[in-house]
Homo-oligomer: A and B are copies of this chain.
Amino acid sequence: MSEVFATRRTRLRERCAAVGNAAALVSRPANVRYLCGETRPGAVLLLGPTEDVLLRPAARAAEPAPARPEDDLPVRELTEPHGDPAVAAADLAAAAGAARLAVEEHHLTVDRHRALRSAAPRLDLADLGCAVEQQRIVKDDDEIAALRIAAEIADQALGELLESILVGRTERHLALELERRLVDHGADGPTFATSVGTGPHSGRLGHLPTDRRVEEGDFLTVCLGAGYRGYRCEVGRTFVIGTSPADWQIELYDVVFAAQRAGREALAPGTAYREVDRASRQVLAAAGCDATLGARVGHGVGLENDEDPRLAPEAMGKLDARVPVTVEPGVHLPGRGGVRIDDTLVVRPEADGGPELLTITTKELLAL
Contacts and interface: CB of A to CB of B under 8 A. Distances in A.
A62 interface: yes
A113 interface: yes
Contact of A206 (B60, B184, B205): B60
Nearest to A179: B176
A129 to B, nearest CB: 9
A122 to B, nearest CB: 19
A275 B60 CA distance: 19
A40 to B, nearest CB: 11
B183 A172 contact: yes
A312 interface: yes
Interface in A189-204: 189, 193, 204
A95 interface: no
Contacts of A111: 105-106
Interface in A292-316: 292-295, 312, 314
A149 B278 CA distance: 48
Given A172-B183, A183-B176, A62 B109 contact: no
Contact of A109 (B58, B109, B205, B332): B109
A61 B292 contact: yes
A63 interface: yes
Nearest to A180: B176
A99 interface: no
Contacts of A189: 193
A294 B110 contact: no
B105 A295 contact: no
A105 B117 CA distance: 15
Interface in A146-176: 172-173, 176
Interface in A21-73: 58, 60-63
B61 A293 contact: yes
A108 interface: yes
Nearest to A177: B180
A107 interface: yes
Interface of A: 58, 60-63, 81-82, 103, 105-111, 113-114, 127, 172-173, 176, 179-180, 183-184, 189, 193, 204-206, 291-295, 312, 314, 330, 332
Given A60-B294, A61-B295, A110-B127, 18 more contacts: A60-B206, A60-B295, A61-B292, A61-B293, A61-B330, A62-B292, A62-B294, A62-B332, A63-B205, A63-B206, A81-B314, A106-B111, A107-B109, A109-B109, A110-B110, A172-B183, A176-B183, A189-B193
26 contacts: A60-B206, A60-B295, A61-B205, A61-B293, A61-B332, A62-B294, A63-B205, A63-B294, A81-B295, A81-B312, A81-B314, A82-B314, A105-B111, A105-B114, A106-B109, A107-B109, A108-B109, A108-B110, A109-B110, A110-B110, A110-B113, A110-B127, A176-B176, A176-B180, A176-B183, A180-B180
